[in-house]
Amino acid sequence: MQEKRKYRDLSKNTILFTINSFGSKLISFLLVPLYTYVLSTNDYGTADLITSTVQLLVPVLTLNIQDAVLRFSLDKEYDKRAVISVGIKHNFIGLILLLFGIIAVRGLRVLSLDNIYIYFLIMSFILNGLHNSFSMYLKANDKVYVLVISGIINTLITCVLNILLLVTFKNGITGYLIANVAGIFIAVCIMLICGGIYKEFRFKTEKKLSQAMIGYALPLVMNSVAWWINNASDKYILTFFCGIAVNGIFSVAYKIPTILSTIQGVFYNSWSVSAITEFDENDSDGFMGTMYTLYSCMSILGCSGIMLLNYPLARILYAKGFFEAWYYVPLLLLGATFNGIALFEGCMFTAVKKTKEVFRTTLIGAVVNTITNIVFIWLIGPLGAAIATMLGYFTVWLMRTIHLRGIVKMKVNWKTQILITIILFIQSVVALKQGMEAIQAICLVLIFVFQYSYIKRLLVKVRELILRRK
C-alpha cells in the first residue's frame, strides 16, 4: 500500500506538470519561427544575453532562497508561513542590492545600457525571484494545480503579446521584452492570490529560521552560479570571440534541446518533492532505483529520437540566417541529457542535505566548461561552444553518478546504462553530418532494444494507474 502511494503521488504531480509544461513549452516552441523571422540575429543575441544575466543574478542576490523554501516547507518542524515570509523578504533584499549595483555601474560608466534594458533587467529579476520562491512553496504544499493555471495563462499572455507587439505593432526587441515580463507578472499575481500566499506572508520573520534557511541555501548559491556557467558562459565567450550575431544563432540552437529539457522537467518537478519525502538509503522497495532507471531511459531515448528529427525540425523552425543553428543541436542535446540526469541525482543529495557535494560536482563541471569553451571557441568557433557545454554537463553527471552510489543503494543495472550512453555518444557524432539518418535510426533502435524491459515496466505501471483511477 505504501509503495502504491509513492507511485500515485509521483504520477499525480507528473500529470499536472505535464499539462503545465507541454502547454506552455509547445506554444513557446511554435513561436520560434516568428522570432527568427522578425528579429535579427543581433536583436535575438542581445535579448538572450539579458535573460542569461537575470538567471545569474537571481540566485546570487537572493542567496538561492527558493531551494530553502522547498526544503523547509516540507519539514514539519517549521511553520510554513514563516518559511515563505523569509523567502519573500530575501527576494526584496536582492532587489535592493541589484538597484545599488546598477547605480554604481552607471555612475562609474563601467557598462553602458539603454534604459529599456535596465527596466527589463529590474522587472525580470524581481518577478523571476518571486516566481521561483512561490513555485517551490506551492509544490511543497501540494498546490501544483495553481502552478498549472499560472503557467498556462503566462504562456497565453506572452504568446498573444508577442504576436501583437512583433507582428502588428512591429516593436521589435522592445515588444519581445515587454511580452515576456507581462506574462510572468500575471503568473506571479495568480500564485499570490489563488495560492493564498498573500494571506500567509508575515513582515516579521524568525531570525533562527532565516539563519537556518540561509545556511542550507548558501552552498547552493555557488551551485547555481556553476550551473549558470555551464548553461550560459558559452554565450558570453562566444560573443567576445565571434560577435553578438553568432551568439544569436547559437542561442536559437538551444530551442530544439528545449523539447528534451521540457520532458525531463515535467518529471524532475515531481521528483524534487518525492526524493525528499520518500528517500530511503537502502532502496528497500526498489522505488528510487526504478525511478532513476525510467528517468534515464526516457532522457536517452528522447535525446536519440529528437536528434534523428533535428534537421527537418530546423528547416521548419529556423528562418533566414538562423538555419545553420541545426549543426550545433546534436551536442547540445547530448549535454541536455546529462544535465537532466544530473539534476535528478541532485535531488537525492539535497534529500540528505549534502548540498556541499552538489556544489562541488557542479563547480568542477563549470571549470571544465569554461576552460574548454575558451579553447574550443578560439579554435573552431560555435561548434566548440557546443562541445564545451556537453563536456561540462558530462563531468557533473559522471561525478554525481559515482558519488551517489555511496549515498543510496539503488537497484540499477549500471552496465546497461553505460552501454546505451556509449551508443548515444556515437549517434551525436554521426548526427553532425547531414544524410546519416539511417545510422542514427539504428542507434535509436539499439537503445530501445536494450531498454525494452524498462519501457515495458513503465507501460505496465501507467496501465495500472489508469485502471485504478477508472
Helix (H, G, I), strand (E, B) or coil at 343: helix
| DSSP conformational letter for 411 | -
What's the rounded Cα separation, in Å, for the pair 294 and 14?
A: 13
pLDDT given for residue 455 in this prediction:
72
Q: List the Cα angle 32/188/80 in 5-degree steps.
A: 135
Residues of the chain with pLDDT under 70: 1-27, 110-112, 458-459, 461-470
**Residue 406 parent element (H or E):** none
State the residue for C-alpha cell 546505451: 420
What per-residue string of b and e applies to 120-152 under the rule 16 or more CB within 10 Å gives b? Answer: bbbbbbbbbbbbbbbbbbbbbbebbebbbbbbb
Task: At 230, list the grid cell.
Answer: 555551464
CA atoms in the 13 A half-sphere facing the CB of 20: 23
How confident is the prediction for the chain on average, in pLDDT?
87
Task: At 133, list the grid cell.
Answer: 520562491
Name the nearest CA neighbour of 223 among 64, 382, 368, 378. 64
The H-assigned helical ranges of 62-171 are 65-73, 80-108, 115-140, 144-162
The H-assigned helical ranges of 141-206 are 144-162, 172-194, 197-200
What's the rounded Cα separation, in Å, for the pair 18 and 26?
A: 11
Q: List the Cα angle 316/300/32 in 5-degree steps.
A: 25
Q: How many helices (H) and strands (E) does the chain have?
A: 20, 0
Please, are residues 34 and 162 in contact by the beta-carbon 8 Å criterion?
yes
Using the Cα atoms of residue 103, residue 107, residue 108 and residue 114 in order, give the sign of their dihedral: positive
Beta carbons within 10 angstroms of residue 398's beta carbon: 16
φ, ψ of residue 410 in degrees (nearest 5) = -75, 145
What's the rounded Cα separation, in Å, for the pair 392 and 356?
A: 18
What's the rounded Cα separation, in Å, for the pair 159 and 372?
A: 37
Using the Cα atoms of residue 246, residue 247, residue 251 and residue 252 in order, give the sign of their dihedral: negative
What per-residue string of b and e applies to 307-330 under the rule 16 or more CB within 10 Å gives b? Answer: bbebbebbeebbbeebeebbbbbb
Burial class (CB in 10 A: 0-12, 13-18, 19+), 194: middle
What's the rounded Cα separation, in Å, for the pair 237 and 247?
A: 9
pLDDT given for residue 25 in this prediction:
65
Helix (H, G, I), strand (E, B) or coil at 130: helix
Please, are residues 361 and 400 in contact by the beta-carbon 8 Å criterion?
yes
Task: At 102, list the grid cell.
Answer: 546598477
* Non-local CB neighbours of 98 within 8 Å, separated by 6+ positions: 57, 61, 121, 122, 125
Name the nearest CA neighbour of 43 among 230, 195, 171, 151. 171
320: left (phi over 0), alpha (psi -120 to 50) or beta: left
Q: List the Cα angle 366/26/450 in 5-degree steps.
A: 65
pLDDT given for residue 442 in this prediction:
97
Using the Cα atoms of residue 254, residue 258, residue 264 and residue 269 in order, give the sign of their dihedral: positive
Please, are residues 158 and 180 in contact by the beta-carbon 8 Å criterion?
yes
* pLDDT single digits (tens) 415-444: 999 999 999 999 999 999 988 999 999 999
**Residue 74 parent element (H or E):** none
